[in-house]
Amino acid sequence: MAIVIQPYRQEHEAAVQEFNRGLRAASDPNLVFSQTAVPRWLPPANDNPVWNEFYVAVDGSQKDGSPKAAVTVRGAYALKQEVLFVRGKGLHHIACYHHPLSTGIVDRSFASVGALLARDALARQPLLYALGMGGMERPIAKMLKALGFSLTPIPFYFRVVHPARFLREVRALRTGAWRASLMDIAAASGAGWLAIKSAQAATSLRSRSPKASGKVIVEERAEFSDWADELWALVKETVSFATVRDANTLRLLYPPNFSSDIASTRTLRMSRNGSAIGWAIIGQRRKDAKFGAMRVGSIVDCWALPENASTVIRAATRALEKDGVDLIVSNQSHGAWCGALEKAGFLKGPSTFIFAASKELTKLLQPTQGNPASFHITRADGDGLPVNF
C-alpha cells in the first residue's frame, strides 16, 4: 500500500465517486465526500478570508500486473481555512479539519489511513481544530486526543415548543418499548406537557435579569453590511477568542438560498434606538430520523455584547416559534449566551459537540482554551452549515 495525500483535482473525481460507493454500500449512506474537486461552499478565491480545500489519499499500488499504477482513493478530508481573533494576541490563520473519511471505516486493513489524514492536515496547518465529531467516545475524537489534541465539549441547549409532539417523536429518548409507552401516556394525559413547561419556566425564573431600556426592532436582512463590521469591532474584545465575524466573512458563510443541513436560514438584525445591537442566524433543520416527524428549529449563530445576548436569543426564539417549530436547539460556548438561553427557558442537555484543538492551537489559546464560557463557538463554526457537501 503506497498511499500519497495530495490536493483533490478533477482527475480524481471518478475515483472519489467509487470511494463513496464503497462507503455507502458497506456503512452509513451519508458517509460521502465531495463529488467535485472544487468546493461548492466557500471555494478558494483570490481575496476571500475563508475558503475550503480538499485533499485525497491516493493508493498508487499496481493491480493485476498492470504496468501502469491504478489510482484508487482510500481517504479524503477537507480544510476550512479561516481567521481567528485571540484577545491580546490579534489575528491568526487557522484551519478546521472536517469530513475526514477513509476506507478504514469498512476495511480494517486500511485502519491507518485515518491517522495519515490527520497528520497530513497538521503538517499543512499546525493551528488546527475539529468540531462536532459526535462525542468524546467516537473514534475520530479518540484519535485526535492520541495525537495531542485537547478536547472540550460545547454546551447543548434545547427548548420544547410542543411537548406532546416532542414526547411522541423524539427517537433518541424513545429507546425500548416501556419507555416509549410511558412517553405516549405522558403526552396523552398532559403530564408530560406540564413537566416540560414547568422545567423550562423554572429555568427562566432562575435566570431573570433586568430589562434594558428602549424598544428593540427585529428585522430580517438579506445580507450583512457595514453594521455587522461595527458590531464585530465592538464585541470581539468581550470574548477570549472567536473566528472572525465581520461583514465580508459573514456574507461568504451565509450566502442566500444555500442548500445545507438547515433547510432554510434567515438573518435577524436587532436594533435599539436606531443602532444595531446584535444579529442571529436561525433556521429549520432538514428531517432527521432522531427527531421523527418534528419540525426542529436552530439558533445557528449569533453575535452581540454580553448584556444584549438575552435580547437576541429571545427574539430568535420568538421568530422560530412563529414558524411553527416543535423543538429549538442551539450549541453555545460563551457564558453570556448560555445564560441567555437559560433565561429564555432552554434546558441544558448532554453535548456531543466537541471542540478539539491541536497542540499548537492549544498553546495559542492559553490560558482560556479549557474554559468555554470565555470563548465564542456556535453550531455554525467548524464545517458550518453544509451536510455531505
Task: Convert the pLDDT of each residue in 8-39 to its tens digit.
Answer: 999 999 999 999 999 988 777 778 899 999 99
How far apart CA 20 and CA 360 sit, in angstroms, is: 33
Query: What DSSP string describes 95-147?
Result: EEEEEEEEGGGT-GGGTTHHHHHHHHHHHH-SSEEEEEETSTTSHHHHHHHHT
Instruction: Say how far apart CA 312 and CA 217 lie, in whole Å.
Output: 11
H helix or E strand, kind and range, residue 359: helix 359-365
Whether residue 386 is preceded by a cis peptide bond, meaning omega within 30 degrees of 0, is no
- Report yes or no: 335 and 373 within 8 Å, Cβ to Cβ: yes
Task: Please state, in angstroms and as integers, the Cα–Cα distance from residue 168 to each residue in 103, 179, 180, 192, 194, following that order.
Answer: 38, 11, 8, 10, 15
Do 88 and 166 lie in a common domain? no
Q: Residue 315 falls within a domain, yes or no?
A: yes
Looking at residue 229, which CATH number applies to its domain?
A: 3.40.630.30
Q: Which residues constitute the domain of residue 80?
A: 3-153
Measured in whole angstroms, the distance separating CA 248 from the mean position of its chain's CA atoms is 20
How many independent structural domains does the chain possess? 2
Residues 337 and 202 in one domain: yes
**What pLDDT does residue 178 have?**
76
Amino acid at 236: K
274 with 332, same domain: the answer is yes
Same domain, 196 and 53: no
All residue ranges of the chain with pLDDT < 70 are 1, 61-70, 192, 205-213, 257-264, 385-389
Is 355 within 8 Å of 129 (Cβ atoms)? Answer: yes
In terms of C-beta density within 10 A (0-12 exposed, 13-18 middle, 19 or more buried), how is residue 220 classed? exposed
Question: Strand pairing of 327-331 and 296-304?
Answer: parallel
Which string of b and e fits 252-268 if b means at least 16 CB within 10 Å? bbbeeeeebbbeebbbb
Burial class (CB in 10 A: 0-12, 13-18, 19+), 95: buried
How confident is the model at residue 65, as a pLDDT? 43
CB 349 within 8 A of CB 97: no
Identify whether 195 is part of a domain.
Answer: yes
Backbone angles phi, psi at 23, to 5 degrees: -70, -45
pLDDT value of position 67: 43
Establish if 360 belongs to a structural domain: no
Q: Find how far residue 31's CA is from the centre of its chain.
A: 17
Q: Is residue 142 a part of any domain in this protein?
A: yes
Measured in whole angstroms, how far is the alpha carbon of residue 167 from the centre of its chain?
25
Q: Are residues 199 and 307 in the same domain?
A: yes
d(CA 297, CA 302): 14
Residues 334 and 239 in one domain: yes
| 323 inside domain | yes
pLDDT in tens, 261-315: 555 688 999 999 989 999 999 998 877 778 888 999 999 999 999 999 999 999 9
Whether residue 182 contacts residue 216, with contact meaning beta carbons closer than 8 Å, is answered with no
Residue 385 has a pLDDT of 61
Name the residue among 82, 10, 18 with its Cα closest to residue 51: 82
Give the pLDDT of residue 290.
Answer: 80
User: Grid coordinates representing 292?
Assistant: 421523527
E strands, 134-249, in order: 150-153, 156-160, 216-221, 241-243
Last residue of a domain, one of 129, 153, 177: 153
Question: Are 94 and 50 within one domain?
Answer: yes
Same domain, 55 and 177: no
What's the grid cell of residue 287?
Answer: 428531517
Q: 375 in a domain, yes or no? A: no
Contact residues for 276 (Cβ-Cβ < 8 A; gap 6+) = 227, 228, 230, 231, 269, 270
Name residue, grid cell 482513493: 73
DSSP string, 298-326: EEEEEEE-GGGHHHHHHHHHHHHHHTT-S
Residue 64 pLDDT: 46
Q: What is the pLDDT of residue 213?
A: 63
Backbone angles phi, psi at 210, to 5 degrees: -60, 145
Asked if 141 and 172 sit in the same domain, the reply is: no
Tell me the whole-structure pTM to 2 decimals.
0.89
